[in-house]
Structures are given as structure tokens and as C-alpha cells.
Amino acid sequence: MSIEVELKLSASADKIRQVKTWLKDVGHPEDSSAELEWEQKCLSNTYYDTKNHRLRATDIGLRIRKDDQRFIQSVKSAGRVVGGLYQRNESEHDIPEHKLQLELVDEPYLIILLEEAEEEDGPLAPIFTTNFTRDVVTIDYEGASVEIALDQGQIHCVGSDVEDTSQDLCEVELELKDGDASVLFDLGQKLIEQFDLVLDSESKAERGYRLCHSAPEYTKYLDLVNLTSKTSAEAAFESVAHKGLGHWQYHIKKIKREASLDAVLQLNRALMFMQTMYSVFAAVIPRHSLIHLRKDWREITKNFSRLFTIAEEINWLKNSKLYGFHYEELVPQEEALEKAFVEEHQVFVDYLMTPSYNLRLLRFSRWLYLKEWRETIGEANAEKIQKKEVYPYATKQLQHLLRDMKRHLSDKVTLSKQDYINYLPKMTRTLDIGLFFGCLFDDRARREYRRGWADIVANIQLLQQLIYLENALEAEGVEDPLIDDTETETLVVLKGMREEALARNPYWN
């Protein structure tokens, strides 16, 4: 089984032509006058799955590719996508005809998944095809061998009843054949700078499934980071960073397609998750190695903040209705916010297509993939953090957090609604740190302990919504005593909740 390392950028037909011309100058050694030898292929790929897409659910891709007279069967795991950089497992075999031969798959885990999918959901059948022309060449760039593929074609659904059954595709793929992976980032940076290309974390298979599957998309929430007690603290930081970046990328793909309120709220969760990561792992990844990256993310956050502010206000108004707070006086405000959300969504999507955004995301991806923090802290310190164990580190961080909460939320302290709201960011960070390290501890104990703090956060968010609603009504000259009563009741509930939460034995003890 091989490991693919490739970078993918979306383009247009015009940009493809420009890239091909540009590569004439950069794609061969300086002392060579030879022309690049491009090979053109007409590729037809058929993707298979069960009727309910069980393979897709387990992040497995199964396809047969027709390349001239060759038939190639491939099984790919989802792997990891960092920015537009793909790293994934792939099993590939030549087959004599366009017919699945699953007995050729030689990786035991993949074999089990394929067999289980058929046993539980019926036979594998074609779902969609990707038919495209690929111009491909291998170049020597900065001492590395890189295969460049320029793809143009379409995705088609097979036997689908959806209205739009085809979609154009146009992209540039860079695959490292030999040499240092940093070359892919260098080449990707130049392509973004020169041709305004855009990092693309959505594979052809993802687009095919989305095009041909009519089931609704569900909001993806942050969950536990997969760690074990043998994971080093540095590796734990990497896993947390990948989790946060992956959450950002997942919802960026959705926000590019539609003005989704849930996607915007989840993008903000990803930003908060990564902000917490910087402070929690400060003893592992020193702040001076993060200066440029934090500046980049602040710039991204600045361009995102207006859209998030509008989304948050819409969300507060919608949630207040769940508690029975309906006001005709606020309908014009909600309609104005909805209109502003659509407009600001387009502004943000336009920003996502700029070199400014894509270069920042590429820079973060490079820093994470190549572990560039090691270069800034010296060899001795790099070896030291690689040996630091995550379990005692996690326990220390959790205990420090608990002391802070006791200091601010002690049952001896009387807290106003504004006190709670001011502490809400720290409460959210508390829950995120639980996601960072939760896998290291007993799951049942963790869930029971976390539930109490999650309920506190939910009630503080209710207070936040009530204050917004109160201010909005005041601007319209309306008062509702029920809001004050609900606030008072919520404060009483919160006092009991925090006393109970602080009395519980922490799951890490």
C-alpha cells in the first residue's frame, strides 16, 4: 500500500492554459533547453458503493479507472487533508476488464470494510463517473520530482433522480514523486500568487457523492481528539491542530456552496478551538514559533467576524422563539439581518477565493505538516518536547483549569448575569480542553462530568440571548416582564448547577 502526498488547487480553463505556459520556464533544470514532455490522457472513472453508501460512511473510495486500454481498480482511505495537501492510503491493481475484483485488495482492514458493506447493505454498484482529460508531466523542481496534472472534464451521476446530474471540474494537482514535501508548498505558493488559484480540500469523489446523493447534509460538530496514553504531547498538539483545521475546512466547503447559518457558527467554533489550542500547548509549542501563524488567523478572523456577528444575532432571535418569545416588533429587524447575512456571506466567499486567504491557509498547512516549529526552538528543545508525555501534561492542564473555575465560580461568590456572560469564553475553552484530552480517561466518567458544565454553558448562552432580546425590544419601545422573570430564574438555576458541578470529583483524578 502506497502513501500519496499531493496538493490540489481549483482553477478555470483559462488558468489551466496559463499554468501550462508558465511551466515551460520553471519545469526543467536551468542548464536544459529541452521542452517539457506532456502526456494527455482521457480518463473515465466509475465510483462504486452500496445503495445507502456504506463505503462513503466509512471514508472509503472504490473506483475503476479506464486509462486508454488499461483498467485500474483503486481503493482509497480518506486519509488526512491539510489545507489542500492530501495524504492518504491507496491500494491499486490492474484488472483485465471493467469489473470489480475485490479479491485483489491486499490490505486486511480495507477488505473487512468492503465485505461488511456488502453484507449489511447489498451489492456494490456504480454511483457516479468522473470523465476528464488529464495533461500530465513530471518536472524537476527545487531538487524534487513532482508530477503535475491538469484536469478538465465533468462529473456525472449514474441512474440518479436528482435534477442536476452533472458538474464541471477543472483543477491542478501536484503529486510528490521524490524529494522533500516542502517543494509542494513552494510550488503551490507560486501558483496561488501568480494565477490566483484556490486550495481545494474537496476531492472528486466528495463532489460526486454530494452531486448524486439527495440526502440532507447534517451539521458536523467538534468531537474528541483521538489520543492514547502513549501519544507524546507534541503529537497531541498536532492531532488537536488537525482536528481544528479539519473542522474549519469541512464547513468552509459548505459555506462556499450556500449561505448556511450553522456552517458560520461552526466556523467560529473551529476558530475558538484553535485559539484554545495555542494557550493550552504553550509549554510544548512556544509562542515565538506561532507569531506569524496567529497573525494570519487574526486576519482571517477579521474578515470572518462581520458574517459571524450577523449569524449570531439571527441565531439569538431564532432561539428565543424556542422559549416562547415571539414579537411582531422584531420581524423587520430579523428580515434585515437575514438580508445582511446573504450579502455578507458573498463578501466572505469572495475573500475565500483571494490569494490573501489561500496563502495564509497554505502557510499554516505547511507549518503543521512539516512541523516547522521545531526549526524555531532548536534541536535540544525539539527532542525534549518529542519525549514529553501527554497524560501527565493533560492532567496538569485540566487541574489548572479546575482551579481557575473554582476561583471564578465558587459557590461563595454572587454572580450577576454579566459576570456569567463575561466568563462564557473561558467556559467554552473548558469544554474544548475536555475534547483535547478526553480520550485519555474513562469515557463514562468524562461524559457525566462534562454534562454538568455543558448545561452551565447552555444556560449562560440563554442569558446572552435574553439580554440581546431585551435590548432589541427596548430599541422598539417594548418591555416584557417575562424576560426579567426568565433571567432571574436562570440565575437561580445556574447557582445550583455550578455548586453541583464544582462538588463533582473530576474524571482525571
Identify the pLDDT of residue 214.
65
More confident residue, 314 or 33: 314
Which whole number is the average pLDDT over 450-477? 95
Identify the pLDDT of residue 80.
55
Identify the pLDDT of residue 381.
78
Identify the pLDDT of residue 27.
63
More confident residue, 138 or 88: 138
- Between 2.40.320.10, 3.40.630.30, 3.40.50.1980, 3.30.70.890, what CATH number should domain 2-216 receive? 2.40.320.10
Residue 376 — very low, low, confident or very high, per pLDDT cuts 50/70/90? confident
Pick from 138, 213, 131, 197: nearest CA to 168: 131
Adjacent-strand bridge partners of 132:
43, 153
Q: pLDDT by residue (tens digit) across 31-46?
A: 555 678 899 999 999 9
- Rounded CA-CA distance 228/126 in Å is 38
Q: pLDDT by residue (tens digit) across 103-136?
A: 998 878 788 888 999 999 999 999 999 999 999 9
Which whole number is the average pLDDT over 391-408? 92
User: Would you state the cell numbers that stand for residue 179, as one nine-digit string?
Assistant: 524529494
Q: Give SS3 for 297.
A: helix
Q: pLDDT by residue (tens digit) across 340-371?
A: 999 999 999 999 999 999 999 999 999 998 99
Identify the pLDDT of residue 32.
55
In single-letter form, the type of residue at position 380 comes to A
Which whole number is the average pLDDT over 8-35? 82
- Rounded CA-CA distance 456/336 in Å is 32
- Rounded CA-CA distance 126/159 in Å is 9
More confident residue, 350 or 209: 350
Q: pLDDT by residue (tens digit) across 67-80?
A: 888 999 998 876 55
Identify the pLDDT of residue 297.
95
Mean pLDDT rounded to a whole number for the chain: 90
Which whole number is the average pLDDT over 221-225? 95
Q: Over 80: is that where the pLDDT of 30 sits?
A: no
For the chain, give the longest Cα–Cα distance.
Answer: 82
In single-letter form, the type of residue at position 5 comes to V
Which whole number is the average pLDDT over 426-451? 94
Q: pLDDT by residue (tens digit) across 51-70?
A: 889 998 888 889 999 988 89
Q: Over 60: is that where the pLDDT of 199 sits?
A: yes
Q: Over 90: is that where the pLDDT of 422 sits?
A: yes
Identify the pLDDT of residue 5.
77
Identify the pLDDT of residue 1.
41
Least confident of 295-309, 396-410, 469-483: 396-410
Identify the pLDDT of residue 26.
80
Helix (H) or strand (E) holding 293: helix 291-322
User: Would you state the cell numbers that stand for residue 459, as one nine-digit string?
Assistant: 444556560
pTM of the model: 0.90
Instruction: Find all residues with CB under 8 Å of 2, minimum gap 6, and list them.
Output: 89, 90, 92
Q: Over 70: is that where the pLDDT of 84 sits?
A: no
Identify the pLDDT of residue 81.
52
Pick from 94, 110, 107, 23: nearest CA to 60: 110
